[in-house]
Structure 1
């Protein structure tokens, strides 16, 4: 299918590799954001507002609070919350190209919450492996596709828990299925994003939606700021991608 958008030249990135020809169906601005990588030499910082941050029933909050200690998920709710996302490429300690997805939410009262992820290309090159949190204890396969209108859709697959020698698949009954939709709003000249995490039994768990603008910097000049990389890095890939 011919893209309805005029593709902009972009370097190879882990996202372009994972999506293949489908990458060309993305809006040029979305293409540029997801061309961030060592080849392009660019980092991207997004600044905006989350119109709404929400979570499910009261039973969900203890799990979100536990995860927040390692910068996984956000236990608070709110509206019109200032937001930043930092996408910076670097080579991890195992020699893999990695792109950070560090989201910071600035809640009222000076309370900030982070939701950290580091993404690498799966060994088969057909998906992204998403390591979550400061210690990368959770890993998830991500499947990327274009939505036909220039937007990007990211859906999670298998989740695994890693701690020392422990390597366990997280059962779907207790895990969360994530869907991320990101697109470029031509009229507003902003990126829009909608994130929703659900459980197959308990329903909606957590999500947010809002918009942001993006700016690009030369990663070779600026480097990777302190605190952006995780405390501990995990070398193991998810089994179905190995």
Structure 2
């Protein structure tokens, strides 16, 4: 068994910077999880029409409903087997915003049938996005979103492009500072920029075989449909 990210990227994974490779090698085989701590230099929103959607999403830990600068944050990437027997990695981001912390939760699984990493968003995995990963010439990781789907009970519908957003994430490692840099930008093809953030962080690796994964990092509800 290899990490879900290496399984998706294949030989392209070896083109990543060694520190990026280690960070995205967290998994059941390595027995490691990763905790990143740093500062988001900027969290931004698009036009006014975006804010109601972000507030609604914020009730289920999807996206970030408030803007800010120099916001401390933690990201926790922990591997576990979900209730359907799939290797899963958490991407739980906690932003220390003025007025109180806010979480942006995601859990990821490898989907060979869709040829992607499947990103379930929020506490109840109501939104699922296809993620396609590749290595950039400088060793950074580029992630682009594909199709988005909404699932609740028997409902399973594709989110139309009119209201959906195309996400691009770049993560790199700066050898001069010893810090990772992340930049996320979500754009609607009709209305323009919706949401994003950028910042830097350092990491530590933890033994999940000995300590397990905290229950609060796992979603309240798990979605079987890939």
TM alignment of 1:34-73, pairs within 5 A: 34-73=24-63
Match of 2:102 among 107, 113, 118: 113
CA contact (8 A) 1:18 1:125 kept: no
| Matched length | 226
TM alignment of 1:71-150, pairs within 5 A: 71-109=61-99, 111-124=100-113, 126-150=115-139
Q: What runs of 5+ residues in structure 2 fail to find an aligned partner?
A: none
Name 1:227's counterpart in structure 2.
216
Q: What runs of 5+ residues in structure 1 fail to find an aligned partner?
A: 1-10, 238-242
Deviation by residue 1:173-216 (Cα, 9 ceiling, x = unmatched):
11011000000000010000000011011110000000000000
1:174 to 2:163 alignment: yes
Residue 226 of structure 1: CA displacement? Answer: 2.6
Runs of 4+, deviation exceeding 4 Å: none
2:97, 2:106 → 1: CA distance? Answer: 20
CA contact (8 A) 2:35 2:76 kept: yes
TM-score, structure 2 as length reference:
0.98
Name 2:12's counterpart in structure 1.
22
1:58, 1:169 → 2: CA distance? Answer: 25
1:58, 1:158 → 2: CA distance? Answer: 25
Deviation by residue 1:22-79 (Cα, 9 ceiling, x = unmatched):
0010000000000000000000000000000000011110000000000001111111
Q: CA RMSD in A?
A: 1.0
